[in-house]
A = this chain, B = another copy of it.
Amino acid sequence: MVSSPGSGKTTLLEKTLSDLKGELLIAVVEGDQATLHDAEQIRTTGCEVIQINTGTGCHLEADLLLRGFDQLRLQKSSLLFVENVGNLVCPALFDLGEWAKVVILSVTEGEDKPLKYPHMFRAAQLMLLNKVDLMPSLQFDLDHCFEAASEINPTLKILQVSATT
């Protein structure tokens, strides 16, 4: 999961984990420059989670993840979510060995973001357009957003969501 800071990655993940609880064996790696906040929030769902703090670092790398795996009881059937450091630029360029990159864009960030940060939207397989509940309070051009995303990545799947509502 990759996105700008504050686009709703952790809340979206928390709701997803609560919905999937009991159906799948799930583990989570949380990446942040500092604090254990996100791991604490995810732990309330009952899922296994570890927090990796990158310090001045702007993204997770595969070897950091590998060290985190030692602390998780992963099984072959486990589903692993990795929440990267909030950064719409650098995490696009690093292969973590993930099955897919999911980019979260919140409507409060504006519809032009796929054009301005093309590497991230090109690297992603799925885009979650989050905070759609706030659209009535914003001047957000949904068509323009879809066109921008499709121009950068014609095969990108898009879902509209609201993690809080």
A residues with CB within 8 A of B? 4-7, 32-35, 37, 56, 58, 85-90, 93, 106, 108-110, 112-113, 115-119, 131, 134, 137, 139, 164
Contacts and interface: CB of A to CB of B under 8 A. Distances in A.
Contact of A116 (B4, B5, B88, B118): B5
A88 B86 contact: yes
B34 A108 contact: no
A122 to B, nearest CB: 11
Given A108-B106, A134-B137, A137-B137, A115 B85 contact: no
A99 to B, nearest CB: 23
Contacts of A113: 5-6
Given A33-B117, A33-B119, A34-B115, 7 more contacts: A4-B6, A6-B108, A6-B110, A33-B89, A37-B112, A58-B58, A137-B137
A118 B85 contact: no
Grouping DSSP codes into helix (H, G, I), strand (E, B) and loop, the A interface class, with mixed when no group exceeds half, is loop
Given A37-B112, A58-B58, A4 B134 contact: no
Given A58-B58, A89-B87, A33 B118 contact: yes
A53 to B, nearest CB: 10
Nearest to A131: B108
